[in-house]
Structure 1
Amino acid sequence: MLKENYTIELLNLKGFNVIRTAGKVITICLPVKPHICPQCKNETKKIHDYRLQKVKHLPVAHTSYTILIKKRRYKCPYCNKRFYEKNSLLSKYKSISTDLRKSVLYYASKLFNTKQIADICNLSYSTVVRIIDSIIIPKPIVFPDVISIDEFKGNTGGYKFQCVLTDPIKKKIIEVLPNKNSEDIYGHLTNNDIKNRLKVKYVIMDMSNQFRSIMTNCFPNAKVIADKFHVLRLANWAMEHIRKQEQKRFTDTRRRYFKKSRFILLKRRHHLKRNEKIQLSHMLSVSALLKKAYILKELFYMVMDSKNEKQFYKRIYKWLFLVEIYGIDRFLTMAKTVRQWLHPIRKTILTDYTNGYIGLSTLSRTLFIRSIF
């Protein structure tokens, strides 16, 4: 019994019973259990006959073993249908176990050559080639006119971040990419026909130079749109930085008050209630720097509220001029980024496309966590 248990564990034959072992040949079978007839869907345990099938299985400690599986056919008493029992060892019409096929594909993914795989798995060269050729290549993606890309925190394949491509108009996920490595993303996207990629008119993204470089190369005709949420987040981050910087000078009581009331500084002024406006006035009167930062934050929101291109340029240049006048380091850094992304930001105003479908709520939670210290 102990020997049989070791055999089952070593060869990954859980669920099977070992009938006998003779050298490197092991005979196994499945226990009898009710099966559903594939034709009439009734349950049956009636056995029709048995057949021994030779199965090529995984080598253990560089030794290959042959499995003889005693396959059982059931007979349905209701419709007389004969059918084989289901088993996890091998697929239908196959004589090589599923585990051995997986092993071949694993070594292929690690860039072992065909001869090396054949030697390791004790298979013929042609068998290895057939197994590798049996991989189904995914159909090329049909890209819509507008696509969006963003990263998200995941835990697959050992990577911390994955990327997702979506159709923001139809609100559909196009594809999830396993990591945010530039070469991998570029290679994956360029596998699609160039005619398909030339049809893309707009690509929405956060203000990532990495994504911008990849997407402009992959989609030559596409215009880049900076996602509105990520653009506005720059102003909020700058505002929060000044608030944290200024409150360090305050007493503990006032510092705690400013920390608890930080969302009053982040909210749009016209969204504030009467008592919140009074609080805001009090907070801004304490620090001239905080007041200037708040003015710049509100003016930038007005820039993003622009209704047309002319209004946008008028407001953005006024904002950039005021940033230079005030000379606040954090906003000067933000202004540099805005200049680099001026045309993608302009496209945001003109098209009103966003990648909010990808997960605005997740990004909002991230901003909330980062604003607390």
Structure 2
Amino acid sequence: MHPTTSMLFFLENLLNLPKVNIRNVIQEGKQAFLILSCQEEEVKCNYCGSLTDELHQTNNVLVRDLSISGQMVYLKVPRRKFYCKDCQRFFTENLEFMEARRKYTVRYEEYIYGRVNVSSVEQVGREESLSWDQVNGIYQRQCEAKKKDWQGVKHLGMDEIAKRKGHQNFVTVLGDIEKGELIEVIDSHQQDKIIEVLMEKELEVREGVEQVSVDMWGGFPKVIEKVFPNAVIVTDRFHVMRAVNEELNKIRKQTRLNVKIKGEKWLLLKNKEDLKEEELEKLELVLKQSARLRKAYEYKESFREIYEKVNEKEEGRLKFTEWLENAKSIYTDVISTIRRNLDSICNYFLSRTTNGAMEGINNRLKLIKRQAYGFMNFDNMRNRFLACFS
């Protein structure tokens, strides 16, 4: 049955395809083929901008569009090639809804890109009757078109995550701390490789970075000094506290307690002001059994108090130096770690910003890895990561 004029008019408004009309609709099972015609007889030259109506040839191409009510929609599009007398060149007419040599409309590729971000290539392929290569090709093109812009990034966070759970194969991730967005993933945790990738960024962009927040891995400062010449290195407060807490927990394990208290580890590691009255009572039962453990706990709290109360870098340096001298009778490993990173630890007091945004980014990346059931290669993983923050 040939569609009525009113039905075609309805479809044209529904699909909202500029510069074309729908001439006919052919239905075959679960597929609908829309036959299009171009509206304009005179078009603008892609090279010089002159108007021309000298049609050279027309080739009909079939393009996949968004489905309607469970029907796969294909557009039969006349691709017209014109000749421009002014610049004496041939050109193909621009159509906003599709790109040259593409088998899908722009909006359909955007749709596939969005679906993959919350699902997987395999699942989207099954639901859309597309092959893995077709879905992945669309996705990779979209990722390339949406590359992250580093312009205006002033506060970076750097961290690492394992490619796969339980493996010691890491990638380096960089985020815009102010926006809480991932902006780069590097397939290495080696200084030279990280430097090589980041040095490809424009000098103006690299010079614009003012702060880089990092954990206490020794390789990051050398990378930052080489790549971001104007950046202050800030050792993240929460990574430092984690190191103190880890040694406190180590002391707990070494202490022989006559009475075991359920949840004693978390009672020791939790901020004291966050403990309820009954938890404080349980904590006291733990601490009264060991003078060394009590001292270690008190030093942990006094270290955290420096972060909470100090506002100036030099005051922070003075307080931390005093703490190091006092706490060395109890703590060992963390003392040398803090001494080695003291200047960058004290840089926290310049702006009191943390790498907390990177923790949020990392948690999201771990979720993406679980949803993807493993990545075929690094490029797929990188694109998937970046896409979810676009």
Larger displacement relative to structure 2 (309-318 or 162-171): 309-318
Q: 2:221 aligns with which of 208, 212, 215?
A: 212
CA contact (8 A) 1:168 1:355 kept: yes
SS at match of 1:286: coil
- Give the structure 2 partner of residue 147 of structure 1: 156
- Give the structure 2 partner of residue 200 of structure 1: 209
Structure 1 CA distance for aligned equivalents of residues 319 and 27 of structure 2? 82
CA distances 1:197-229 after superposition (whole Å, capped 9, x unpaired): 122221111111111111111112211001111
Query: Greater Rg, structure 1 or structure 2?
Result: 1
CA distances 1:49-78 after superposition (whole Å, capped 9, x unpaired): xxxxxxxxxxxxxxxxxxxxxxxx984499
Structure 2 CA distance for aligned equivalents of residues 149 and 193 of structure 1? 19
Q: 2:278 aligns with which of 275, 280, 299?
A: 275
Q: 2:316 aligns with which of 287, 301, 312?
A: 312
Q: 1:44 aligns with which of 18, 21, 25?
A: 25
Structure 1 CA distance for aligned equivalents of residues 270 and 150 of structure 2? 41
Q: 2:231 aligns with which of 222, 226, 232?
A: 222
Change (3 A) 1:139 1:245: closer
Q: How does 1:83-98 map to 2 (within 5 A)?
A: 83-86=60-63
TM-score by length of 2: 0.55
Does residue 1:289 correspond to 2:292, yes or no?
A: yes
TM-score by length of 1: 0.58
SS at match of 2:156: strand
CA displacement at 1:292 relative to structure 2: 1.4
Q: 2:326 aligns with which of 322, 329, 339?
A: 322
Q: 1:167 aligns with which of 168, 176, 189?
A: 176
What is the one-letter code of the residue matched to 1:333?
D
CA contact (8 A) 1:145 1:199 kept: yes
For structure 1, the 5+ residue unaligned runs are 1-35, 48-72, 95-134, 367-373
CA displacement at 1:173 relative to structure 2: 2.3
Aligned-residue Cα RMSD (Å) equals 3.8
Structure 2 CA distance for aligned equivalents of residues 224 and 144 of structure 1? 15
For structure 2, the 5+ residue unaligned runs are 1-14, 40-57, 65-98, 103-143, 367-390
Change (3 A) 1:352 1:41: farther
CA displacement at 1:46 relative to structure 2: 8.6
CA contact (8 A) 2:182 2:361 kept: no
CA displacement at 1:239 relative to structure 2: 1.0
Structure 1 CA distance for aligned equivalents of residues 354 and 184 of structure 2? 18
* Residue correspondences, number: 250
Does residue 1:184 correspond to 2:188, yes or no?
A: no
Structure 1 CA distance for aligned equivalents of residues 168 and 251 of structure 2? 34
CA contact (8 A) 1:235 1:297 kept: yes
Q: 2:250 aligns with which of 235, 238, 241?
A: 241
CA contact (8 A) 1:309 1:349 kept: yes
Change (3 A) 1:139 1:281: closer
Change (3 A) 1:263 1:194: same
Q: Which has the higher contact order (CA 8 A, sep 6+)?
A: 2
CA contact (8 A) 1:74 1:84 kept: no
